Structure 1
Amino acid sequence: MGHLDHAAFGWLTPVLSYAMAGIGSALGLRCTVRALAATGRSRRNWLATAASAIGTGIWTMHFVAMLGFRVSGTDIRYDVPLTVLSLLVAMVVVWAGVFAVGYGRDRTRALALSGLTTGLGVASMHYLGMAAIRLHGDVGYDPVLVALSVLIAVVAATVALWAGLNIKSPVAVTVASLVMGAAVGSMHYTGMLAVTVHVTPSGSVLPGATAMQFIFPLAVGLGSYLFLTSAFVALSPTAGEREASASAQRPIESATAR
């Protein structure tokens, strides 16, 4: 059996992956707060930004953590189409979950349903990403730990969506995003503890791309997207600030009209 190392670069990949999950969550929650205060196209745009931020944060967290994954006795490669599919799955299910909550009539039912859907989607993204691994040997899973990781994903997604609906203050959003980052990380590493690898040494070349060829550039690109979007959201005025600005303009306009 191959020895598995989940943090080949020491604390770097776990800490960086936690930061990615936290930033994605914070941005997603902030955009959800904005969305619920808006209407029409503005609400839809804020929800879309929230979903893409959370989806990107979760996927980037998983694959930044995977940069530190090593198995003794074999190289590791990643199947490119499956890895990209795992990103699309993360995006689509988070979009479905966020939009269900943003537009649901019955908030409690929408929350339960979208929490379940999003959690299962996050777990699917994780295990699709794991299915993309190519190595010399066979990968097995402990079913109890797999089930636990799926449960953590569903609970984490439900809590995240609940937070998006109920949390307004920046301090509370920060605390919620730190908790969410920890929950997503727990799901990932629980899923990784479920993995066993039976190595079959071989001199043949593995198909697929190395983590540094493919995953690292993609993670850097998506991480940059998160930072840029965070800056944009932080600088854009809230609905309250826009109203205050508009009401300040009115006396000036009426004075000019005279």
Structure 2
Amino acid sequence: MAQHYHHWLVLVSILVAILASYTALTLALRIRVASSQTAPAWLVGGGIAMGIGIWSMHFIGMLALLLPIDIAYNLSVTLLSMLIAIVVSTFALHIASRRQVGRAALVGGGVAMGVGICAMHYVGMAAIEIAPPIRYDAAWVALSFVIAIAASFAAFGVAFSSPPQAGWRRYHKAFGAVGMGLAIAGMHYAAMVAAEFPAGAVSGVTLVSKAWLAGAVTTITLFVLFATLLLSLMEARAAARAARMQASLAAAAETSRAKDEFLAMLGHELRNPLASISSAVHLLKQAGLEDKHRQFAQDVIARQSEHLARIVDDLLDVGRAITGKIMLNREPIDLNAAVGNALRTLDAAGTTADRCVTMEGASVWVNADRTRIEQIVNNLVLNAVQHTTPGGQIAVRVAATPDGALVSVRDDGAGMDTETAAHAFELFFQARQGPERRRGGLGIGLTLARRIAELHGGTIEAGSDGPARGSTFTVRLPAVPAPAASPTARLDTAPRSARRVVIVEDSEDARLSLQRILEREGHTVHTAADGPSGFDAIAKLRPDVALIDIGLPGLDGYKVAELLRSKGLRTYLIALTGYGRAEDRTRARESGFDEHLTKPPPMERLLALVAGAAA
């Protein structure tokens, strides 16, 4: 009996096969990332949807067959073929949803799935009520099995391949679905070629129109497949939102933990010098104190005050460094001389007194901010001191390299493992240490050193051979030619003169202590505790120098300076404030200040400014 096909129904069957294949691949990936609670539901629901899709493709393909007689189907056998499709699809999803599958399991799964699809097809063909029965060409039947098994292997190949993220390969799932759909359709139509309908065969009575049945099956199938895809998409988006929320909560918890840890470290680092100062003050209050004890207490207060000032400066500097607001006063400097000066300053402060510090260097010039370069060296050497024991070796080297200039600081201390070295320059990061925090620090010195080096166009790196084997930090900077020698400037050796000074400061302790220091230097000092009274005192007394705080009650320091300058007053105005950003200095200049000093001021510099101010 001659066979013909309804072309539109053939096209519909192929499109259904492609859509079913795409749904199967989507569900395989969805089940793979689903939670243990929802995965079984997705597996069963997906198996039903995929099975109905594949079965519908075959049923629509059989409805596309045009014979001289109408075809009737046995309902029970037809439903059995659908059940086989659902079971086979569920099995395939179970295999494809695994993260890893062995080669033997993959081969076995592909063969079983291919055989199952063929079984579904031939059981569906057996549902055709026709006499005499259909005969089959063995070669075409074998080919249909080969195509089905190949399609199954292709499905697993796409499911277990890593999805590329760029170019046309991003659409590998869609291309895979098209290939699988064509293969499944090819298997069906190869199997239909294998079927030989006897001439003169007769079939039962059909109760339903073939066109209506094809339309109904197609509509229901498309609804099931699209509903499944939509549910998968909605669940995937909900899972993504939940994952983002979980990640945000984890990040917030980590931020909170880091904040608490930093505050605990900061509290430790602040309380230690404060405790020392408090003890020294108590010692000074004792009657009949010997000179050596008095000197000891004074030294403790001086040292710990400098330490507190350094902590505050580092905190402010690292904030400016991160936001890119550090201003560099660059000029050609001899790097070797700058490093040597930084080491002498540390030695004079007693910071490296119980360490063996050596320096090997050669003159090499860089275009840099001298103060910031010395700050890099200071931070690296302080880091070496923290991680070595008394008597430890710290070697500093300055050298010219083909690429520029190099400064290295090497110690024989605690050393670092690979993980610690990788995080050494991260803000607030510190190597593990016990509750006693013998090494101290806030974990900002190295971050600041790196940022300053980068602002100079340089780099800094950390290296170590391992724990207890010391560390080496290396700074590389661009070098410049040495400038031509210039005559040495004559130092100003003029004697300091007594000045008339007004201090405007709302902190009583700061105001009175500064007043006594200046009076001991021979200056005449008047004070005021707020902006308005400070302005009146300066306008009335017309002193040589005025030390003015910025954060004053009633009238801030900027406004005081502006009003004084508007009256033509030429008093030397010094802003003495806790605000130390570059924009603060700029605003002070614009307001009429001659100098800007951050608290606590370097006392020698302050005394020199007061004594050297023009009358």
Calculate the TM-score normalised by the size of structure 2. Answer: 0.37
| Displacement of 1:26 | 0.8
Equivalence map 1:12-23=2 (5 Å): 12-23=8-19
Number of the residue aligned with 2:430: none
User: Aligned in 2, Cα 1:42/1:134: closer, same or farther, shift over 3 Å?
Assistant: same
CA distance in 1, matches of 2:241, 2:29: 14
| Displacement of 1:201 | 5.8
User: Aligned in 2, Cα 1:209/1:157: closer, same or farther, shift over 3 Å?
Assistant: farther
Local SS of the residue matching 1:134: strand
Number of the residue aligned with 2:188: 188
Calculate the TM-score normalised by the size of structure 1. Answer: 0.84
Worse-superposed segment, 208-217 or 21-30? 208-217
Worse-superposed segment, 107-116 or 172-181? 107-116
1:206 to 194, 198, 204: 204
CA distance in 1, matches of 2:195, 2:207: 21
CA distance in 1, matches of 2:211, 2:76: 16
String of CA shifts for 1:205-256, please: whole Å, max 9, x gaps. Answer: 715654457565344323311111112222333555531133335678999x
Q: Are 2:28 and 2:96, in contact at CA under 8 Å, matched by a contact in 1?
A: no
Q: Are 2:29 and 2:97, in contact at CA under 8 Å, matched by a contact in 1?
A: no
User: Aligned in 2, Cα 1:223/1:91: closer, same or farther, shift over 3 Å?
Assistant: same
CA distance in 2, matches of 1:251, 1:53: 39
Structure 2: which amino acid aligns with 1:222? T
* More contact order relative to length (CA 8 Å, sep ≥ 6): 1
CA distance in 1, matches of 2:49, 2:246: 30
Q: Are 2:20 and 2:225, in contact at CA under 8 Å, matched by a contact in 1?
A: yes
Q: Are 1:75 and 1:136, in contact at CA under 8 Å, matched by a contact in 2?
A: no
Number of the residue aligned with 1:94: 89
Q: Are 1:104 and 1:110, in contact at CA under 8 Å, matched by a contact in 2?
A: no
Number of the residue aligned with 2:140: 145
CA distance in 2, matches of 1:194, 1:242: 52
Local SS of the residue matching 1:75: coil
Local SS of the residue matching 1:233: helix
Structure 1: which amino acid aligns with 2:224? Y
Equivalence map 1:1-258=2 (5 Å): 2-5=1-4, 7-8=5-6, 10=7, 12-72=8-68, 74-103=69-98, 106-168=101-163, 171-200=171-200, 206=204, 209-210=207-208, 211=210, 216-237=215-236, 239-248=239-248
The structure carrying a bigger strand percent of its residues is 2
Q: Are 1:89 and 1:124, in contact at CA under 8 Å, matched by a contact in 2?
A: yes
CA distance in 2, matches of 1:178, 1:208: 34
Task: Look at both structures and tell me which one has the larger radius of gyration over its CA atoms.
Answer: 2
Aligned length: 248
CA distance in 2, matches of 1:171, 1:138: 45
Q: Are 1:67 and 1:216, in contact at CA under 8 Å, matched by a contact in 2?
A: no
| Displacement of 1:37 | 2.3
Q: Are 1:79 and 1:208, in contact at CA under 8 Å, matched by a contact in 2?
A: no
| Displacement of 1:55 | 1.7
CA distance in 2, matches of 1:232, 1:99: 19
Question: Unpaired segments of 5 or more residues in structure 1?
Answer: none
String of CA shifts for 1:133-158, please: whole Å, max 9, x gaps. Answer: 12354311110000100111011112
Structure 2: which amino acid aligns with 1:244? R
String of CA shifts for 1:157-188, please: whole Å, max 9, x gaps. Answer: 12112322225366111110000000000000
* Identical pairs, percent: 25
Q: CA RMSD in A?
A: 2.7
Local SS of the residue matching 1:168: coil
